[in-house]
Amino acid sequence: MSTEPHQLDDPKLFFNRELSLLEFNARVLAQSLDESVPLLERLRFLTICSTNLDEFFEIRVAGLKQQVDLGLPLQGPDGLSAQECLQRIEKVARNLVREQYRVLNEQILPALDHEGIRVLRRGSWSGRQKRWIRAFFNAEVSPVLTPMGIDPGHPFPRVLNKGLGFLVTIEGQDAFDRESGVAILQVPRSLPRLIRLPSRLVDGKDEFVLLSSIIHEHVELLFPGLTASGCFQFRVTRNSDLWVDEEEVDNLLQAVKGELASRRFGEAVRLEVADNCSEEMAGFLLRNVGLGPDDLYRVHGPVNLHRLAAMYDLIDRPDLKFPPYLPGVQRSLSGQKDLFEVIRRGDALLHHPYESFAPVVNLIQQAAVDPNVLAIKLTVYRTDEDSPLVEALLEGARAGKEVTAVVELRARFDEAHNIDLATRLQEAGANVVYGIVGHKAHAKMLLIVRREGRGLRRYVHLGTGNYHAGTARVYTDLGLLTASRKIGRDVHRVFGQLTGLGQAENLELMLQSPFTLHGRMLALIENEISAANAGRKARINARMNSLGEPEIIQALYRASQAGVKVDLLVRGICCLRPGVKGVSENIRVRSIIGRYLEHSRVFSFLNGGKPITYCSSADWMQRNFFRRVEVAFPILDEGLRARAVEESLDLGLKDNQLAWELLESGSYRRLEAKAENGFSCQAQLMEMHGGLGGAQGDWRRKELDSDLPVAASDVSKKKRQRRRRDSKKKER
C-alpha cells in the first residue's frame, strides 16, 4: 500500500492490537511443531498457547463484549469497532483452536507414543488397567463429585470459570418418580486431571489417563438404576478482569479482596464443548450460560489443554527436555563478598536468565542484617511463593529497619498472592502502600539507604522484570546495580511519589511515566529525524514486549520517511505496519520466540554520535505511558551500555533461528537458515554467560564468534581489542 506523508493517522497503517496478540500466540504454537525443540518442550509450548488463549478471552474478548453491551463507540487507531473486532477475532481464534488440537492429535501424541509415553483413551485400556481405574474412581473420585439434576427444583448451576464440567443426558425414572433428563457435573479443582498408571500395569512405559476419561467411563455409577445416554465435556470461560472504583473505596486491599470471588462467576465469554456434543445439547448449554452460537468452540480432545502440562514434571526424561542450564555469576558478585563495596567500585549489569538473580537476593539479605542499613524500599508487582527476597524484607522489618514495600494489588491474576504478601509485611512492621489511585505501580525499583562515614549513601537496583526468582530463570531481563548519587536521588523521589503526596519533582537522569517517559521518547525519535534530514547518521534500535501507542508509531513512521534505520524487537503485540512504501520501508520488526520468554525493554538511539540507551519497565503502549508508574534508566558506564546494546539488541537482530519477521500484511515469516549458518541469540548468550548441562562456580566469558564486552571493571578496552586480534589470527 502507498500512503502520503500527511496521512500517518490512516487506520490502514495500524494493526489491530487484539489480532496482533493472536498472531503472537500462533508463533508460540509454531514452537510445538518445531522438531528441533525437545518433545516435552513442544508439549509445553502447546499448553502455553492454550493458557494464553484462555487469558485472551478472559480479558481482551471480555472487554470488547462489555463495550458492545454498553453501546460504546470506541475505536482504536486501526479504525475497527468493538463489534468488528470481535467478528475478526472469532475467525482467527477458531482457526487457532483447531490447529492446537490438530497439533496435539497428529503431532505431539504420536511422537510421545513413539517414546513410550502414552495418554490412554478409554478403548485402549487393558483388563487389569480397567480394574485399577474403576477402583481409583470409586475410592478417589466418586466421593467428591456432586451431580446435579436439572429440573424446576434444581436450576442450572453457576458454572465456575474454566472448570471442567460434564453435561450428562439420563434415561429412566428415579426413586422419586422424576423423569430424568439432564444433569450437570462440575469436577472440583482438587482432583488431578492427569493420573499416572502404576508401573506394574504399564510394562516399563509412562502411561497416563485423563480424569475426564475416567469420569466419562464411569459416569453411569453416579446415577444408580438409570442409563447415561450421553456424556459431554464442557468448559465456560468468564470475564476475569477485576473492576474496582478506586476513587470511591476507602481501603483498596479490602476492595480487591472482595472482588476476587466474583472472578469465578463473571459474565461468560466462551463455551468449549467436546466435538461429540450434539447441536441440541450445545444449544442447551449456550442458553443457560448466556452465550450465542458464535461463542461456541468444539474441541477434539480435553477441553483444557493446559492440564497436559503436568506431564512435563511427571516424566523423568532429560533427553526430551532442554538441557539443564546453570546461570553464571560475575566474579565480582559471587561468594560472600560485601556487595555494597562491590557496587561502590562500579555499576554492575545483570542479564537474566543467562546470569543469576542471586546477587539481587543476596544484596537484600545483606541489607536486612547490616547494622549500617537504615532503610530498604522495594516495589512488588509480582514475586514468587516463599520468596527469599520477601523473607529478607521481613527479617529487616523485624530488626527495626525502615522497610517500605509498594505492593501492586491489581497485578492481574496475582491479586490474591499480593494481598497475602502485603498482610505478612504489615504484620512484621513494614510500611505497605498500594501505589497511586488510577495508576498501577509497575516500576521495578530497590532502594537501600546505608550510613557510611559521616553521611548516607543510596544503593539501587533497577530492572526490566519483576522481583521474582522463578521468572528470572525463564524470562530475559536486565538489571542494574548502582551507587550513582543521581540515580539514587531519582529513585528516592519516585518512592516519595508512591508513598506520599506532592508535586512530581524533576528527575536528573531517569524517566518516569506518566510524566516524562513518553515525551522523552518522542524527543529522542525527533532528534534522529533531524540528524537524518541534516545528512548525519541516525539509528533507532528498541526492544520491548508490545508496541501500540499511536504517537510513538507515527513518530517512527516520520523517522523512516527521513531515512532513519529503525530496528525493533517486539515479542508480542505490534500495531506498527512495516514495509509500507513511502512510510515505513526503513523499519524492520522482529519477534524472538525461544526457550526463554523475551521480556527486556531496551531503547537505544545514536543521538548524534553520543549513543544513549535506556532500560525500562515499560513497553511502548498507552497504558505504560499514561496509566502506570514506570521508570526508564540510562546505562551510564560505556562498557555496560555497549554490552546491553549488543546482548539485548544486536544479537537478536542477527538471529535466524528463533526470529520471526513482521510483514506488511500483518503476518509473520520465520527466518530459517541452513544449519551451518544458523545463529540463535539465546544459545549464544547461554554459551557466553553460563554452562550447558554442568555447574559453573564463577562467571566466565566463553569466546565464540562474538566480541561482546563484559563489565568494564573486568575487561578493559585494550584487552578486548587484543582478544579480537588473537581471534582473527586463529581464524586465518
Q: Over the stretch 218-228, which tens digit does the pLDDT of each residue have?
A: 999 999 988 89
Is 300 found in the same domain as 198?
yes
> Is 626 a member of any domain?
no
Beta strands in 141-282 (DSSP E): 146-149, 165-171, 182-186, 194-196, 206-210, 227-238, 268-274
pTM comes to 0.89
Specify whether the CB–CB gap between 443 and 464 falls below 8 A: no
User: What integer is the mean pLDDT of 73-94?
Assistant: 92
Asked which of 266, 288, 320 is the last residue of a domain, the reply is 320
What pLDDT shows up at residue 6? 56
User: Quick check: is 516 in a domain?
Assistant: no
Region 294-318: mean pLDDT is 95
- Number of structural domains in the chain: 3
Choose among 474, 614, 594: nearest CA to 542. 614
Q: In this model, does residue 331 exceed pLDDT 70?
A: yes
For residues 634-651, one letter each, b for 16 or more C-beta atoms within 10 angstroms of the residue's C-beta and e for the rest, the string is bbbbebbbbbbbebbbbb
Question: Would you state the pLDDT for residue 502?
Answer: 73
Residue 627 contacts by C-beta under 8 Å, 6 or more apart in sequence?
A: 438, 439, 440, 514
Which helix (H) or strand (E) segment is 691 a member of? strand 691-692
**Domain-terminating residue out of 480, 511, 542:** 511
Q: Report pLDDT digits (tens) over 482-510.
A: 999 999 999 999 999 998 877 778 899 99
Contact 476, 545 (CB under 8 A): no
**Would you state the pLDDT for residue 413?**
58
What share of the chain in percent tops pLDDT 70?
Answer: 88
- pLDDT for position 702: 31
Give me the residue label for grid cell 497504558. Answer: 623
pLDDT at 30 over 70: yes
Q: Which of these ranges, 185-199, 527-541, 688-702, has the smallest mean pLDDT?
A: 688-702
* CATH number of the domain where residue 142 is located: 3.30.1840.10
Task: Give me the pLDDT at residue 713, please.
Answer: 31
Question: Which pLDDT value is given to residue 152?
Answer: 59
Q: What is the pLDDT of residue 480?
A: 98
Higher pLDDT, 4 or 202: 202
| Shared-domain flag, residues 397 and 455 | yes
Whether the Cβ atoms of residue 711 and residue 348 lie closer than 8 Å to each other: yes
AA identity, residue 723: R
Same domain, 423 and 499: yes
Same domain, 22 and 85: yes
**Are both 253 and 365 inside the same structural domain?**
no
What is the band of 675 on the pLDDT scale with cuts at 50, 70, 90? low
475-482/431-433 β-pairing: unpaired
Residue 629 in domain = no
Are residues 68 and 85 in contact, defined by beta-carbon separation less than 8 angstroms? Answer: no
What integer is the mean pLDDT of 227-238?
A: 94
Domain interval for residue 116: 15-320
Q: pLDDT by residue (tens digit) across 254-269?
A: 555 445 455 455 899 9
517 occurs within a structural domain = no
pLDDT of residue 263: 47
Residue 237 to residue 243: CA distance in whole angstroms: 17
**pLDDT greater than 50 at residue 171:** yes
Whole-number CA gyration radius for the chain: 28
Tell me the pLDDT band of 180, cut-offs 50, 70 and 90: low
The answer to whether position 701 is within a domain reads: yes
What pLDDT score was predicted for residue 437?
74
pLDDT at residue 710, rounded to an integer: 30
Separation of alpha carbons 527 and 706, rounded Å: 31
Q: What percent of the chain has pLDDT over 90?
A: 73
- pLDDT at position 677 is 85
Does residue 364 sit in the same domain as residue 397? yes
Q: Residue 582 above 90 pLDDT?
A: yes
CB atoms < 10 A from the CB of 62, how many? 20
Of the candidate ranges 67-71, 371-375, 507-511, the one whose mean pLDDT is the lowest: 67-71
Helix/strand/coil for 632: strand
Query: Are 245 and 358 found together in one domain?
Result: no
Q: How confident is the model at residue 730 (pLDDT cuts 50, 70, 90)?
A: very low
Specify if 22 maps to a domain: yes
Cα(578)–Cα(592) distance, rounded to whole angstroms?
Answer: 17
Nearest to 631 by CA among 480, 428, 476, 410: 480
Pairing assessment for the beta strands 475-482 and 612-616 based on DSSP bridges: unpaired
User: Does the pLDDT of residue 169 top 90, yes or no?
Assistant: yes
Q: How far is CA 128 from CA 76, 214, 436, in A?
A: 59, 15, 61
Residue 285 has, within 13 A of its CA and on its CB side, a CA count of 32
369, 395 in Cβ contact below 8 A? Answer: yes
Across 7-16, 80-89, 496-505, least confident range: 496-505
Q: Report residue 699's pLDDT band, with 50, 70 and 90 as the boundaries.
A: very low
Q: Please answer whether residues 510 and 531 qualify as being in contact, where contact means their C-beta atoms are separated by less than 8 angstroms.
A: no
Quick one: pLDDT at residue 205? 86
The DSSP output letter for 155 is P
- pLDDT reported for residue 707: 29
Residue 378, SS3?
strand
Is the residue at 344 inside a domain? yes
- Amino acid 95 reads N
Same domain, 697 and 670: yes
Q: Are residues 565 and 704 in the same domain?
A: yes
Question: Which stretches of 571-660 are DSSP H helices?
Answer: 622-626, 638-645, 651-654
Q: Is 6 a catalytic residue?
A: no
Contacts of 66 (CB under 8 A, 6+ apart): 239, 267
Cell of 149: 439434576
Per the residue annotation, which of 442, 468, 518, 689 is the catalytic one?
A: 442
How do residues 401-442 score in pLDDT, each as one tens digit? Answer: 999 988 887 656 556 776 778 788 888 888 888 877 778 889
601 plus 491 within the same structural domain: no
The model's confidence at residue 384, banded by pLDDT at 50, 70 and 90, is: confident
Cβ-proximal residues to 623 (8 Å cutoff; 6+ apart), any chain: none
d(CA 92, CA 239): 20
DSSP 3-state of 15: coil
Average pLDDT, the chain: 88
Task: CATH number of the domain at 574, please.
Answer: 3.30.870.10
Supply the pLDDT for residue 201.
94
Per the listing, cell 523473607 goes with: 391
Is 6 contained in some domain? no
Domain finish residue from 511, 546, 577: 511
Q: Are residues 120 and 234 both part of a single domain?
A: yes
Q: Which one has a higher pLDDT value, 288 or 714? A: 288
**Looking at the structure, do residues 61 and 92 belong to the same domain, yes or no?**
yes
